[in-house]
Structure 1
Amino acid sequence: MKRILFFCIVSFSFLKAQEKDSLRWEIHSKADSSFSEKERNRMKNIEDVVITGTIKPMSRSKSPVAVEIYSQKFFQKNPTHNIFEAIAMVNGIKPQLNCSVCNTGDIHINGLEGPYTMILIDGMPIVSSLSTVYGLSGIPNSLIERVEVVKGPASSLYGSEAMGGVINIITKNALTAPTFSVDMMTSTWNENNLDVSTKFKVGKDVASLLSLNYFIFNEKIDQNKDNFTDAALQNRISVFNKWNFRRKDNRLGSFALRYLYEDRFGGEMQWNKSYRGSDEIYGESIYTNRVEAFGVYQWPLKEQIISQFSYNYHDQSSFYGNNAYEALQKVAFFQTYWNKKFGNHDLIAGVTVKRTFYDDNTPGTMSSDGLVNEPMKSPILGAFIQDQWEIDSKNTLLLGYRYDYDKVHHSVHSPRLAWKFSPNPYHTLRFNFGTGFRVVNLFTEDHAALTGSREVIIKADLKPERSVNGNLNYIWKIPVDGRFINLDASAFYTYFSNKIVGDFDTDPDKIIYDNLHGYGISRGLSLNVDFNFNFPLTVNFGVTYLDVYQKTDDENTKIQQLHAPKWSGTYGLTYQFPKNLAIDFTGQFYGPMRLPVQHNDYRPDYSPFYSLANIQVSKRFESGFEVYCGIKNLLNFTPKDPLMRPFDPFDRYVDDPVSNPNHYTFDTAYGYAPMQGIRGFLGIKYIIK
């Protein structure tokens, strides 16, 4: 706590020293407020553009698909090192830690597991199944212009993996990005993050943005005294380069490259790299090398024809104790679509091809006799069409259809319907209906189970997972004293069939993959409220109710989804003092969620209600500097007993009838929240426009 106070004292000392500069900034801000009403509306409309719901840029208010938009400023209210942590500020989205040792995880939308969420960068499926677990923490917030979220199946546009929803990370445009920016942040846990970016122009129509992110956390901390690190050590570097081209008739043109390297470790406090892969001291050590490339090109034709591509290369070398996991995944994606308006109809038609290569050192990529290595090579061909019809000024109808062909699942059909009714600017009702599908990457999702010597059996005619979804969204803008209370309410219902599950119990020497003989349900309600008071206070609050479960045909038992809280929500308050001094109070709360427990486990089956609260004080100056400091996890909440038998991680004494009569085994999956307690942070930014 002394370090927290010291951080804040240093920050405010700097703020006081810059008071003269802040006065000039305040005068500058007042000058900005002199824009005409027309200019302010124009700027508002620019910020209101979305692409995720319909694949093409359009005003959010005109989109028949409900799309949530979150700017970089929104995430800066609780500064984090990467998008994985930042996305927790969005109502209905939960970054879930799947391992209490190495702290890898995935992103849940409305309670659905991570593989059901598609992560896009600039509209391209960059985040493949392997990097869903190991690559999300490598996406720095410094790259983000805004984040667009579509909840519910979007397979008719984006294909497999978009069953639960889509998170589209829009990166900065090199033509409009600041000339130079730097952001440095540290914490009382000695987490150090550096973001540096600069842009340069090549002529008047070409600009390049070069960005570097470096994060290092090398301090072993064990506050709960279980002899395991509370947070995984990380040494990570990310280099990003994006080129944007200003072309005739505003045609699109951009290209981007990113390289990521990460050295991650979690485990016993005595571990060092000499123990990597040994059975003496337990450690989980993961080396990741990752390359991404993506771009868009609009053809110089009278017709609007746009091509997009993405490619990622993910090489992982890891040890979980003495179990090695070596994996390589390469995913290439190409898409071309044609956009044409016919009166009140806006038509889009396109074709896609996606090819996935995956290889690892587990039985999952070996032949049935275990003698020949057989990497997975999975091409998927697709075609889609959609028509957005503006029936009149109040009604818009969208009809869409997608066809995909996969060599395992064969033909997959995905229809879609969306309707928007807006009788006036204060009320908007949207109804979305659609289907989703998922071609499961079995071996990237179950690799921990495949490190043994089991034979993998895939039932013939394995069907793709399917879903049918209905979503009703209502937006009400309530005028109050010249301002608006914004209410955004949604009700959703999704029915899942053909869920692909692994049977580990029928035969101890086999893993048998088959479609679930039953169904799954995801249903719930969500509400977001935003309000700007007459005095400089902004309040936003969100709450989500979830009921996510599955049933089998032979047993009429309702099985709740793991890590899917019945109730969850977000909250944020921002007070803007004079002289550009601001205080942000943000957080999330989670109700009880079902947890993975062992037989006769002494730990509770459900987590308690808890909240992760944060506070930040920030100040901006005319010179381009901004200083911020604060406290994370104000309530100092951490899970109890996240590890089972941490004193016996190699299960040497698991069969001891005296010390372990219940035959508990070492387990890392019980943790449901970060183990980092209360801590302070301090940061400084500098921007040259």
Structure 2
Amino acid sequence: MLISGLGLPRALLLVCATTCGCNAFAAVDAEPSPDEIVVVANKQARSLRDVAAYVTVIERAALDKQLAVSASDMFRYTPGVDVEAAGTRFGGEGISIRGIGGNRVAILIDGVPLADQIKVGSFSNATRDFLNAGFTQRVEVLHGPASALYGSSAIGGVVAVSTPDPADIAAAGSSGGNAQLMRHQADSSLHGVGTIALNHNDRGLLLAASYRDGSEEPSAAVPDALDSRDYLRRAALVKFVLDNTGIGTLRFNAIHQDAVVDSDLASFLGSGRYRSTTALLGDDQYRMQLVSAAWEFGDGSGWFDQGILRSYYQEAQTRQLTTDVRSNAMRPVSIERYFDFEQSTRGIEFNLHRGIDTGAIKHRIGAGLEYRLRRSEEFRNGSETGIQDGLSSNVVLGEVFPLRDFPRSETREFGAFIEDSVDIGDLTVIAGVRADRFELRPQDDTMFAENYPFAKPVRVAESDLSPKLALTYHQGERTDLYLQYTEGFRAPPYEDANIGLDVPLFNSRAVPNPDLKSEHSKGLEFGTRWQGERLRLHAAVFRTDYSNFIESRVRIGTDPDSGRILFQARNRDSATIEGLEAGGEWHFSGALRGLSVDGSLYRPRGENRDSGQALNSVGPAQAVLGVNWQQADHARSIRLQATATDAWDRRDESAGELFKPAGHVVLDVYFSQALTERLTLRASVRNLNDKTWWNWSGVRGLAPDDVLLPYLAQPGRTLSVGIQMNW
């Protein structure tokens, strides 16, 4: 059922099914490693052969060859992992894995969680777009629910990003560095990143900085873009590593990122709610700061083998100003809307691991504790000023500003997990459970109380267990099988539990819900891996059932006192997402040595079990195929990349007809040439076949006649060039 009706272009599908390629660009520089190591699946370094889950790994070398600068670049060739888009103003919002996105996916940088995404109406969107490809050494993606290890924030999966250590840049006892400069035609952007490192004896220091400025991307569907978007992004990374065999390894790192985006949204003008608007301008600012300290240690006394103690602090702030000039209104006015969202997170994590060998049976035990304190504060302001009379008011469309959409909130999360991997010959039984306590504490907030006297904030206290049971079986030296059952949960978030809204113009009001329950998931996955001398294959089928999905702003009736239409966050949907993922790579030998083929296949299906309708968060099937040639001395490489996406026609249109992006094949080509031992030139042509296509995640809620659709198509054929110097 999952494979029938796939509808991908025949040629690419047949080749991809034969080669079963893995994540594009992964391990194209060498023959398949016999023992690839991953951390994200067990919070401990394990051979991929021992992992009972589908994990994608993206290395630094792959990102360099791809001329990657953004999160969209990082996951461009990873089917099933999508960067959610938010139109021509806000760009990328967050990351979706197997159709589950938003704050249901844990995004970690060096083990530190990123801030939440918050969206309020059309003019306010605090995104999670803080991933910097220039500071990325390695990415590990754990597909599917991972609450048994990572708690409430990982019901959709985990994206774990690691920044480089000094030892990744400079050899032992020396100093080194690299610098990259890239130019992308698609958004006329210039990107520069520089890194220097000192790696002397048991101490290492790394300093890195990046800069990127650009503009809006063109649309292949229209000759000229109506919306303009000029941006500037800057970032800095500092990392100090002390590696002393007596005390273990200490890592201290700090990251600062900021961005400024100016937009002119002309495509909205003259239609719908903007029919009298003559100018719509956006002025957005983003900032993220992260500091962490981690101690990795071992114990020779036998109590444990290794452990890690990590503490961190992360804060993010979004400030957005929207100017709406309505010169064609009966009373010409200029409307300004201001949005501010700040969130800080403090946390500590402590994990221990120990191996016990009893002869025929071996145990690998992991256990850990985690505490996280998160403070969130949101604020909106607005004014309406007459263009001719100069009179100003703080009432806009019936809303009285300033206001908050939820009270200042504090969430506390306590988690403890234990996992035991029991090796019995070629069979391994993995059993684990995580206990979580989640507390939402709304703070005293005079502004919220005055804005919404009818909305009494509620406290939420939830406790839950997330068990996991898995089997792995090594059938000889080449074939591995695994079966995994896991449960997950997500506690009610502050913005849903305590929403407050009152818009007299639309006769609507939103109120808190004291009875909101946690979301839950139950997932089953079966997978296999096979590895030969030059060929590697893997595949998995999965099914996850979700219950008590929280839907924001559900209409619940009419308030008898005010006559307002009432809205509230409610537990509504029970859903199922199932599918197939497959991958592999093939390195040729003999006369074809240096040639390799890889690719990937993703076929999902999502259904709302309450209504029988499709889930609109689950995208179309996709296949990726890459053909790579590399010179024997690695000085030159050429790569042809094909991405085929099925037509997205299985949709829930019960609320109205939706735009259905057509199926398409996009070809990209990448070239790399070492000019000297230290200097490398790279170039790429994306959308070589100049196809007009839409990214499904960027248009999933739009009607076929939406005026924005032509401007949301992806760019046509574009060129990128880059140069890298190492020393």
The answer to whether the 8 A contact 1:323-1:451 is kept is: no
d(CA) in 2 for partners of 1:209, 1:243: 6
1:435 lines up with 2:491 in the alignment: no
The answer to whether the 8 A contact 1:239-1:259 is kept is: yes
Instruction: Check 1:376–1:84 CA distance in 2 against 1; reply closer, same or farther (3 A cut).
Output: farther
The answer to whether the 8 A contact 2:183-2:722 is kept is: yes
d(CA) in 2 for partners of 1:308, 1:116: 23
d(CA) in 2 for partners of 1:297, 1:220: 43
d(CA) in 1 for partners of 2:65, 2:90: 27
Q: What is the aligned partner in structure 2 of residue 464 from structure 1?
A: 518
2:149 pairs, out of 147, 157, 177, with 157
Q: How far off is 1:58 after superposition?
A: 2.3
The answer to whether the 8 A contact 1:99-1:105 is kept is: no
After TM superposition, list the pairs within 5 Å mapping 1:331-370 onto structure 2: 331-343=345-357, 344-362=362-380
2:72 pairs, out of 41, 62, 84, with 84
d(CA) in 1 for partners of 2:427, 2:411: 41
1:395 lines up with 2:395 in the alignment: no
1:623 lines up with 2:672 in the alignment: no
Q: How far off is 1:64 after superposition?
A: 3.9
Percent identity, please.
Answer: 17
The answer to whether the 8 A contact 2:85-2:697 is kept is: no
The answer to whether the 8 A contact 1:384-1:401 is kept is: yes
Q: Which amino acid is the alignment partner of residue 75 of structure 2?
A: I
The answer to whether the 8 A contact 1:400-1:415 is kept is: yes
After TM superposition, list the pairs within 5 Å mapping 1:578-657 onto structure 2: 580-593=635-648, 605-639=659-693
d(CA) in 1 for partners of 2:254, 2:618: 35
1:490 lines up with 2:540 in the alignment: yes
The answer to whether the 8 A contact 1:120-1:127 is kept is: no
1:385 lines up with 2:418 in the alignment: yes
Q: Which amino acid is the alignment partner of residue 603 of structure 2?
A: Y
Which one has a larger percent strand, Structure 1 or Structure 2? 2
Q: How far off is 1:216 after superposition?
A: 0.4
Classify the secondary structure of the residue corresponding to 1:88: coil
After TM superposition, list the pairs within 5 Å mapping 1:388-427 onto structure 2: 388-392=421-425, 394-407=426-439, 408-427=460-479
The answer to whether the 8 A contact 2:108-2:161 is kept is: yes
Residues 51-99 of structure 1 show CA distances to partners (whole Å, capped at 9, x for unaligned) of 1111012222233444332212223342221233221211321222132
Q: Which amino acid is the alignment partner of residue 501 of structure 1?
A: E
Q: How far off is 1:437 after superposition?
A: 1.2
Instruction: Check 1:384–1:672 CA distance in 2 against 1; reply closer, same or farther (3 A cut).
Output: farther
Residues 266-288 of structure 1 show CA distances to partners (whole Å, capped at 9, x for unaligned) of 333699xxxxxx96511333200
d(CA) in 2 for partners of 1:441, 1:137: 20
Residues 632-679 of structure 1 show CA distances to partners (whole Å, capped at 9, x for unaligned) of 1223334579999xxxxxxxxxxxxxxxxxx999786x6897532221
The answer to whether the 8 A contact 2:498-2:511 is kept is: no
Q: How far off is 1:248 after superposition?
A: 1.1
d(CA) in 2 for partners of 1:371, 1:311: 25
Any gaps of 5 or more consecutive residues in structure 1? 1-32, 34-39, 272-277, 645-662
CA RMSD of aligned residues (A): 3.7
2:597 pairs, out of 505, 521, 539, with 539
1:374 pairs, out of 395, 399, 407, with 407
1:683 lines up with 2:722 in the alignment: yes
Q: Which amino acid is the alignment partner of residue 338 of structure 1?
A: L
d(CA) in 2 for partners of 1:672, 1:597: 23
Q: What is the aligned partner in structure 1 of residue 579 from structure 2?
A: 524
Any gaps of 5 or more consecutive residues in structure 2? 1-28, 171-175, 269-275, 325-335, 382-398, 440-459, 559-563
The answer to whether the 8 A contact 1:614-1:630 is kept is: yes
Instruction: Check 1:136–1:412 CA distance in 2 against 1; reply closer, same or farther (3 A cut).
Output: same
Q: How far off is 1:566 after superposition?
A: 3.4
d(CA) in 1 for partners of 2:312, 2:527: 32
d(CA) in 2 for partners of 1:674, 1:351: 46
1:573 pairs, out of 627, 632, 636, with 627
1:514 lines up with 2:570 in the alignment: yes
d(CA) in 2 for partners of 1:292, 1:397: 37
d(CA) in 2 for partners of 1:210, 1:452: 50
d(CA) in 1 for partners of 2:340, 2:404: 18
Residues 304-354 of structure 1 show CA distances to partners (whole Å, capped at 9, x for unaligned) of 442112321111101355432211111122111222222211222221111
Residues 220-256 of structure 1 show CA distances to partners (whole Å, capped at 9, x for unaligned) of 8577559755674320001111112212158232121
1:56 pairs, out of 44, 59, 64, with 44
After TM superposition, list the pairs within 5 Å mapping 1:90-101 onto structure 2: 90-101=78-89
d(CA) in 2 for partners of 1:74, 1:173: 18
Q: Which amino acid is the alignment partner of residue 230 of structure 2?
A: L
Instruction: Check 1:63–1:181 CA distance in 2 against 1; reply closer, same or farther (3 A cut).
Output: same
d(CA) in 1 for partners of 2:697, 2:623: 26
d(CA) in 2 for partners of 1:96, 1:587: 21
1:140 pairs, out of 119, 132, 143, with 132
Classify the secondary structure of the residue corresponding to 1:329: strand
Q: What is the aligned partner in structure 2 of residue 330 from structure 1?
A: 344
Q: What is the aligned partner in structure 2 of residue 659 from structure 1?
A: none
The answer to whether the 8 A contact 1:147-1:169 is kept is: yes
Deviates more, 1:61-70 or 1:178-187: 61-70
d(CA) in 1 for partners of 2:253, 2:129: 19
TM-score normalised to structure 2 length:
0.76
Instruction: Check 1:122–1:495 CA distance in 2 against 1; reply closer, same or farther (3 A cut).
Output: same
Q: How far off is 1:265 after superposition?
A: 3.3
Instruction: Check 1:386–1:129 CA distance in 2 against 1; reply closer, same or farther (3 A cut).
Output: farther
TM-score normalised to structure 1 length:
0.79
Q: How far off is 1:490 after superposition?
A: 0.4
The answer to whether the 8 A contact 1:98-1:671 is kept is: no
Q: What is the aligned partner in structure 2 of residue 262 from structure 1?
A: 259
Q: What is the aligned partner in structure 2 of residue 17 from structure 1?
A: none
d(CA) in 1 for partners of 2:252, 2:711: 38
The answer to whether the 8 A contact 1:299-1:305 is kept is: yes
